[in-house]
Structure 1
Amino acid sequence: MAHSYSVRALLALAGAAVAAGGPVHADSVTTLDEIVVRPAQSGALPTATVLDRTELERARARTSDSAALLRQVPGVSLYGAGGVSSLPAIRGLADNRLRIRIDGMDLTASCPNHMNPPLSYVDPNAIGSVAVYAGIVPVSQGGDSIGGSIVAETLVPELAAPGETLLGGELGGYYRSNGDAYGANLAATAANEQVGLRYVGALANADNYDAARDFKTTTATGRVGHTLGLDEVGSSAYETESQRLGFAWRRDNHLLTAQVSYQDVPRQLYPNQRMDMLGNEATQLNLRYSGDFAWGRLAAQAFYEKVDHFMDFGPDKRFWYGPASGMMAINGMPCAPIGSTCAEGMPMYTESKTLGLGLTADIDLSARHLLRLGAEYRGYDLDDWWPPSGAAMWPGTFDNINDGQRDRFALFGELEMRPAADWLALLGVRYEWVDMDTGDVRGYSSAPTAPGNQSAEALAFNASDRARIDGNLNLSLLAQYSIDEHARIELGYAHLVRSPSLYERYTWSSWTMAAIMNNTVGDGNGYVGDIDLAPEQADTVALTFAWQNPDDTRALTATPYYTRVTDYIDAVAYDPATWRANRFNVLRYANQDAELYGIDVAGRLPLGEGKLGRFGLAGVLGYTRGKNLDTGAGLYNIMPLNLTLTLTQALGGWDNALEVVMVDTKDHLSTVRNEIETPGYSLVNLRASYAWPKVRLDFGVENLLDRMYDLPLGGAYVGQGRTMVINPTDGTLAWGTAVPGMGRSFYVGVNLRF
């Protein structure tokens, strides 16, 4: 917790300086104008959906989860996870199927439950811009993904105008009633025209949240003296802190930036996972260069990330287990002697190291043609091990993944052309060489009688040839025709390829206790990998029609799309003879074919202006259908038909909104996973804000009518009780309970610029 004190001290000092009228200069404060997110390289087609700075500001008080900033982007939905670690999905494809970059860093979740996805490493207050590429992805922005790309940029150090200096920053905080959530953030900038420094620090804390009403039948947690209310969503609390220090240096047409960031998560509990994250430290170093030349633009990058991750049972899950049938603890209490009769939790450690290098050149062939060439390298090393804690786990350490390695080398070329004034086209080719391997493994015990056949499976795994090399070719074709200055049609095709992850290929044990610890989707099942998995190959076609009136107050965008995935990595029963409906099972990753199709629609229009201000209406509609073509069943965690309508009102410094969220029943399900059906629902959210020149106040109510609902992508509720047992009989972890959404919650946030 020493690092937390440093952030709190800085927040306190900044607050004291502001209160005392410290060194704050009006001429050094820049207003936060609307920032339109643009692709990392200039000149790319407008295929990305953009978020402006104004929308990012509005969301600060409502969420501590950076992925939630994308909630209003057409085609984007969120897998439920920890309170700051949602997994974004684009048109039904999520997690490893997306390429997510933060300040150009290509990052991966290093956890058998994917508790630390890339966007969880950056606080919402630190984000300056986000671009979302859905389905049709330029090859310069894609690679090793089939669903799309998310490009997030943090607020880099500003540089002052010639002859001036810049000194300023922000100080903010928020409180949310449901879960007693609170947080604070500090940003400080100092710069002249050549050198800039920027510090960003943030912390967030929350207890378990409550659903709108009772959703379970037991208060038991498996710990003596500790119970949960019937409406309390167990294992939904979190605590996190992050710090970023950035440096920028500019000389003529050359810009060099360097950033070091550190995140500490001492607690993030998971209502849809059998484990909890009780420690996650991540350190990132990032160096970027860009320069303008007579022939075009050159960009280079080098980054390094180290993650130390720890999981065990949080306070809402049983901690002591004994060797009796079903791994039951004796009266829920510790038993002696430790090491022979009891298991003291389930410690799980993960360590990863990522090294990335990149070089991109934009070459101006002519006024109408631009050629983009690039090369990238990403080296990823992973170790995942589980020390023994007693009972059947003695005497050795379980190697889930030992010395895992996944290296990617990529070359790409992209040509942008404007053959006529009303036509714009893009053609891109990308080749990736993915090299994967891992070392020998062992179970807790090497004895032939060790439970779960772990000894025999480890021997078989070690005797296999585990090295795999994939050569993946990606293509992107995009053509845009401008009907007039207000309307355009865009047609795109993409062939995108993704190689399996280390967890999909190399998790090896079918022992129930080990398999249920490997689950990246929150469905309560156990998973086993397959070394021979083939890469996923997705062919996507999409047609976009976009229109806006001259003053941009009216707009409509509609995009129907279709994706066919060859060798889609789905799941099958590990042992068909033991698979049962309406319960949790052990599954195995397997290649099958799949299709996804749907439509995204977004629009806005003014409703009038008078003494009460300007009124407007905005809407986002999404429909996605996913089908496993081998089985005919639905794909897992596909967001049902949904519509969000927002009535807006602006008057002077006021900016208010009444939002209605409508979601259909989720009943097209993944049969093999025994996915839980969720009923349809509608929610009402009320939001208000007032902005002064240097202060912004946000307040509102989420789920105003306190509506009870289940999260369609929230997975199975396993947030309390005997989570190490796949199907316990004591009522604490019954199959069929979905993770509910949050009940009514009031929030308030304030942000001060100085």
Structure 2
Amino acid sequence: MKSGLKMSAVAVALAVTPCAFAEEAETMPEVVVTAERQQPLPSLGSSGPGQDDLTRLHTNTSDTARLLEGLPGVSVYGAGGVSSLPAIHGMADDRVRIKVDGMDLISACANHMNPPLSYIDPGNVGSVKVLAGITPVSAGGDSIGGTILVDSQAPEFARDGQGTLLKGQAGVLYRSNGNARGANVTATTASENLSMMYSGSTVKAANYTAAQDFKAAGLAATGRGWLAGNEVGSSMYEAINQSIGVAMRQANHLVELKLGLQDIPYQGFPNQRMDMTGNSSKQANLRYTGQYDWGMLEARAYNENTHHRMNFLEDKQFYYGNAPGMPMETKGRNTGAQLKADIVLSERDVFRLGSEYQRYRLDDWWSASGTGGMSPNAFWNINNGQRDRFGIFAEWEAHWDPQWASQLGVRAESVKMNTGVVQGYNTTATYLATATAFNAFDRQRTDSNFDMTALARYTPDSSRDFEAGYAAKTRSPSLYERYTWSTKSTMVLNMNNWFGDGNGYVGNPDLKPETAHTLSMAGRWHDDRQESWEVKVAPYYTRVVNYIDAVACPACAARTDGFVNLTLANQTARFYGADVSGRTLLARNTGYGSFSTSGVLGYVNGRNLTTGDNLYNIMPLNLKLAVEQRMGGWTNTIETRLVTAKTRVEAIRKEMRTGGYGLLNLYSSYEWKRARLDVGLENALNRFYFSPLGGAYVGQGATMGTGIPYGTLVPGMGRSFNTSLTVKF
């Protein structure tokens, strides 16, 4: 049976062993119909897919999005300590479809402080797949940048006749920069047909420090003054994640229920005017997979409720003395269902059918504060926001002969959006006229979207394969892009910013859906056994019609602090670039072990064809190189990351340039039968740098025009010694 065409140049995957001591238990895999030829996919480590990569990365970050850094085509926008935003080929956030355990999660925050990947701790990640370029329609709609699939660890069952399986692991971690401390535990008990698993993690960190004092000379101190030396304000965080999973299997059928609970008491954001003062999320996720004579059936239903709160944490609050603060609350309610069938028509053909439904509700309100301009009413940013999405898709996959394979897919979606009436803090000229006009017009919008993909793969021999394809993908605007409404208050405009650039934004109800047309090619060369060396080259070109970009806002309040107030409009944009990756075995089984090397080179160029301006937050040319040694239980890695200067910046947003830099990272681990010790020295040379995607630094104020002025960037983290210990039982 043949299915699941694996696109080595347009799909990046990390396949992870479900849990330690696999020889003692059976893991219930996803029930899939596998292809005769499955090409190895690029991985997170030079040694190939495995738990080692995730364990090392978890030692050095509590931000799941950072697990993707360094993968071909992927970069990461800076945000809070556990809330970075991944970008694929220059497109990020709502333009990327992100599924966590199959759930389409949505950020319930005007600053996008709770993106989908913030809802799973890196230590609970079991597998990661990144689909870029020509993304199959079966992998999700309502996106133009690609798809990220993150799943927690798969359920395990006892072997036949084994009795009851009891196993688990516990770990602790420490990172010197920011004094981060964390702990995690997983435990499984299972019979042959019933499995139960618990996973819990906690992490807490103070503000991190840059390599040197980064504050520009001559900036005046206000309030209690600058934070000391090189401390990066509003970068502290604490997060607690827990989940329970119950799975039952019978023959070729699996039913799995996962319940998740997240509590983030606080999380600072150095590139946002506000901080997170609470994020509570409850998730329920029910999934069925079954293998039949005709193929595979998968069904899923999920529900997720989020209560998100923002205000000023200490680093921002001190500028306002005894000010009452600015409480902001958001509630998001997300319910979805999915159904997919893989039908094996013949030895050559597989037909894939599916449908998805998502119902999303959002309330975003800011309680009255004090007796001044933020009173006496609650400010309603979005009241009863509604976004309902229904889609169906069909995909045909054919393996014509040992050399040729193809995939064709179409997807149709309907996205219906609406919102209720709004109000300002008061009925002054700052709010009344704008709110009245917003409430008076018809706010309901319905988009009819269409996707299609076509991909061909040619494998002339055992050492080469090539791919080429075309995709048309469509994304409807978000609730925040369409329905944020206040224009006369710079403070309110500042609150609606999911870009991290320090500017203020207001939505546009008349935005049209974005449609991206992508051409992608890829070539891969390797040795016959795919063990010694491999080189991949994947160029791409994307043209986006009705691209949603920032434009001047004549109706918005004027400001003189260096930042700007903007709105959004449909324009035309294009992206092009290439991903190059490779690995080679340098030496095997020498007196000093085995040595290998790997590298990833990324380049993307983005431009607004309507205005001639550059696009925002485009990662400049970058290169990651690593050399790895393995000897017995030891694994040692020397890694360098090189980034050129960012000189192409978006003028309309007053985006700031960054200089080029290079970082040296050192990693080492030793593994026993039931324990593993990891140590790392990141930014070993203590290099000072500004991340090209780090955003504007407002970590010590500037919400109302005081504090950090325009022109200061968020600096990267200085040297950090990181370590973790994991014990299996």
| TM-score (norm. length: structure 1) | 0.90
Contact 1:221 1:316 in 2 (8 A): no
Q: Distance in 1 between matches of 2:34 and 2:381?
A: 43
Distance 1:49 1:581, change over 3 A: farther
1:60 aligns with 2:40: no
Q: Residue 711 of structure 1 is aligned with which of 674, 680, 691?
A: 691
Distance 1:462 1:616, change over 3 A: same
1:584 aligns with 2:563: yes
Could you tell me which residue of structure 2 aligns to residue 201 of structure 1?
200
Q: Residue 517 of structure 1 is aligned with which of 495, 502, 524?
A: 495
Could you tell me which residue of structure 1 aligns to residue 657 of structure 2?
677
Could you tell me which residue of structure 2 aligns to residue 381 of structure 1?
361
1:190 aligns with 2:167: no
Contact 2:81 2:236 in 1 (8 A): yes
1:113-162, CA deviations, whole angstroms, 9 ceiling, x for partnerless residues? 00000000000010000000002100000200000000011013211221
Could you tell me which residue of structure 2 aligns to residue 555 of structure 1?
534
Could you tell me which residue of structure 2 aligns to residue 339 of structure 1?
none
- Please state whether the residue corresponding to 1:61 is helix, strand or coil: helix
Counterpart amino acid of residue 575 in structure 1: P
1:606-644, CA deviations, whole angstroms, 9 ceiling, x for partnerless residues? 222421111111100000000011111110000000001
Could you tell me which residue of structure 1 aligns to residue 717 of structure 2?
742
Unaligned runs of 5+ in 1: 1-26, 322-331, 335-342
Could you tell me which residue of structure 1 aligns to residue 611 of structure 2?
631
Q: Which moved more, 1:279-288 or 1:602-611?
A: 602-611
Distance 1:42 1:696, change over 3 A: same
- Please state whether the residue corresponding to 1:488 is helix, strand or coil: strand
Could you tell me which residue of structure 2 aligns to residue 569 of structure 1?
548
Q: Distance in 2 between matches of 1:135 and 1:720?
A: 39
Q: Distance in 1 between matches of 2:351 and 2:221?
A: 60
1:396 aligns with 2:377: yes
Could you tell me which residue of structure 1 aligns to residue 10 of structure 2?
none
1:576 deviates by 8.6
Contact 2:391 2:411 in 1 (8 A): yes
Contact 2:556 2:565 in 1 (8 A): no
Counterpart amino acid of residue 668 in structure 1: R
Distance 1:260 1:141, change over 3 A: same
Counterpart amino acid of residue 445 in structure 1: N
1:481 aligns with 2:473: no
Contact 1:39 1:131 in 2 (8 A): no
Distance 1:423 1:389, change over 3 A: same
1:29 deviates by 3.5
Contact 2:521 2:538 in 1 (8 A): yes
1:49 deviates by 5.1
Counterpart amino acid of residue 519 in structure 2: V
Superposition pairs of residues 621-700 of structure 1, within 5 angstroms: 621-700=601-680
Q: Residue 573 of structure 2 is aligned with which of 561, 581, 594?
A: 594
Contact 1:261 1:283 in 2 (8 A): yes
Could you tell me which residue of structure 1 aligns to residue 88 of structure 2?
90
Distance 1:64 1:419, change over 3 A: same
Contact 1:319 1:344 in 2 (8 A): no
Could you tell me which residue of structure 2 aligns to residue 263 of structure 1?
262
Q: Distance in 2 between matches of 1:29 and 1:222?
A: 57
Distance 1:516 1:31, change over 3 A: farther
1:563-601, CA deviations, whole angstroms, 9 ceiling, x for partnerless residues? 000011000111299878992111001111100000001
Counterpart amino acid of residue 564 in structure 1: R
Could you tell me which residue of structure 1 aligns to residue 467 of structure 2?
490
Q: Distance in 2 between matches of 1:211 and 1:468?
A: 46
1:492 deviates by 1.3
| TM-score (norm. length: structure 2) | 0.93
Could you tell me which residue of structure 2 aligns to residue 418 of structure 1?
399
Could you tell me which residue of structure 2 aligns to residue 99 of structure 1?
97
1:30 deviates by 2.4
Could you tell me which residue of structure 1 aligns to residue 78 of structure 2?
80
Contact 1:39 1:48 in 2 (8 A): no
1:72 deviates by 2.4
Could you tell me which residue of structure 1 aligns to residue 444 of structure 2?
467
Could you tell me which residue of structure 2 aligns to residue 18 of structure 1?
none
1:46 deviates by 6.5
Counterpart amino acid of residue 635 in structure 2: D
Q: Distance in 1 between matches of 2:556 and 2:357?
A: 44
Distance 1:411 1:41, change over 3 A: farther
Counterpart amino acid of residue 58 in structure 2: R
Distance 1:40 1:366, change over 3 A: closer
Could you tell me which residue of structure 1 aligns to residue 214 of structure 2?
215
Contact 1:547 1:556 in 2 (8 A): yes
1:480-510, CA deviations, whole angstroms, 9 ceiling, x for partnerless residues? 0002122100101110000000000000001
Q: Distance in 2 between matches of 1:714 and 1:525?
A: 14
Distance 1:307 1:49, change over 3 A: farther
- Please state whether the residue corresponding to 1:559 is helix, strand or coil: strand
Contact 2:136 2:453 in 1 (8 A): yes
Q: Distance in 2 between matches of 1:418 and 1:203?
A: 47
Superposition pairs of residues 179-578 of structure 1, within 5 angstroms: 179-217=178-216, 224=224, 227-318=226-317, 321=320, 332=321, 334=322, 343-390=323-370, 391-446=372-427, 449-450=428-429, 452=430, 454-510=431-487, 511-549=489-527, 550-575=529-554
Distance 1:617 1:157, change over 3 A: same
1:71 aligns with 2:30: no
1:551 deviates by 4.2
Distance 1:274 1:32, change over 3 A: farther
Could you tell me which residue of structure 2 aligns to residue 16 of structure 1?
none
Contact 2:214 2:230 in 1 (8 A): yes
Distance 1:652 1:320, change over 3 A: closer
Q: Distance in 2 between matches of 1:39 and 1:524?
A: 46
1:733 aligns with 2:711: no
Q: Distance in 1 between matches of 2:206 and 2:653?
A: 30
Distance 1:32 1:395, change over 3 A: farther
Distance 1:128 1:62, change over 3 A: same
Could you tell me which residue of structure 2 aligns to residue 324 of structure 1?
none
Contact 1:220 1:720 in 2 (8 A): no
1:547 deviates by 2.0
Counterpart amino acid of residue 273 in structure 1: Q
Counterpart amino acid of residue 458 in structure 1: A
Contact 1:49 1:131 in 2 (8 A): no
Q: Distance in 2 between matches of 1:112 and 1:285?
A: 24
1:19-77, CA deviations, whole angstroms, 9 ceiling, x for partnerless residues? xxxxxxxx9942699x9x99988559879755533311221211100011111210100
Distance 1:584 1:172, change over 3 A: same
Contact 1:386 1:398 in 2 (8 A): yes
Q: Residue 112 of structure 2 is aligned with which of 111, 114, 125?
A: 114
1:145 aligns with 2:143: yes
Distance 1:307 1:223, change over 3 A: farther
Q: Distance in 1 between matches of 2:593 and 2:719?
A: 28
Counterpart amino acid of residue 75 in structure 1: G
Q: Distance in 1 between matches of 2:23 and 2:76?
A: 32
User: Equivalent pairs: percent with the same residue?
Assistant: 51
